Structure formats: structure tokens, C-alpha cells
Amino acid sequence: MSTDPEKTLRYHDMGGLEAGPVDLSEHDYALWEKRVDALMVLSTSRGLFTVDGLRRAIEDMGPDAYETMSYYERWIYSVNRNLIEAGAYTADELAARLQAVAARGADYATCSLAEPGDA
């Protein structure tokens, strides 16, 4: 294990580095982004994990996540990881649920609300 502080830094720790101009534009949050925020509030209020765990899992994601994913995309990755670690559900249960959601269709305007297999 390296004892060189520079070698053990992680990508998120970028304060003070060259960054170019700051994008000050505002934007409205999408519904899914508000839901991710709500899921974080519910998770922490039930004691499943803390904001520290949220940060830790995001920091673990590495440079690609910071270059290609949006703020709440990183959040949902981290919330999901922390909930699996906390035993709220299993990776298998998540995979099955995502498959069921995908089967509803590409968007809510055209999907059926019935789950696959419902009578």
C-alpha cells in the first residue's frame, strides 16, 4: 500500500485543480431526479445508511463517473449500492425489478401499468 499521499488520492478530490470556467446555468429537476432525492431521505431516515455512505460510494466510482454521469445518476448508483450493502434488497431482486420495469415500455406515455404476468 502506497504511503505517498498523491498516489492515494481519488478523482473526486479535485479542489484547487485547473477546472476552467464554472457553468452557472440553472435547470429544473426532472421527476426521476426528485425521486432519487426522496429515496435518499427515506433511506437515511430509516437508518439504512448515512450521507457519508452516499459520498463514499460516489467517490469509489472513479473518473469515468465524473466525466460522463450527471449528479443524480451518480446518486442513484450510490443509493442502490448502499441499500444492497444494508440488506434492503439483493442484487438479484434488483435485476428482476429492473427487467420488469424495462418490460413496461420505453416511456410512461405508451406503457401499460400492468406488470408482466398480471391477469
Which residues here bind another protein, judged by CB under 8 A? 1-5, 7-10, 13, 15-16, 49-50, 52-53, 55-56, 59, 85-86
- How is residue 24 written as a grid cell? 452557472
Closer residue to another protein in complex, CB, 26/52 = 52
Give Cβ neighbours of residue 43 (< 8 Å, ≥ 6 apart).
49, 79, 82, 83, 86, 88
Q: How far is the CB of 2 from another protein (least distance, A)?
A: 7
Q: How far is the CB of 31 from another protein (least distance, A)?
A: 29
Q: How far is the CB of 88 from another protein (least distance, A)?
A: 12
Closer residue to another protein in complex, CB, 49/75 = 49
Give the ranges where 22-107 is alpha helix by DSSP (H).
Answer: 31-45, 51-59, 63-68, 71-85, 91-102
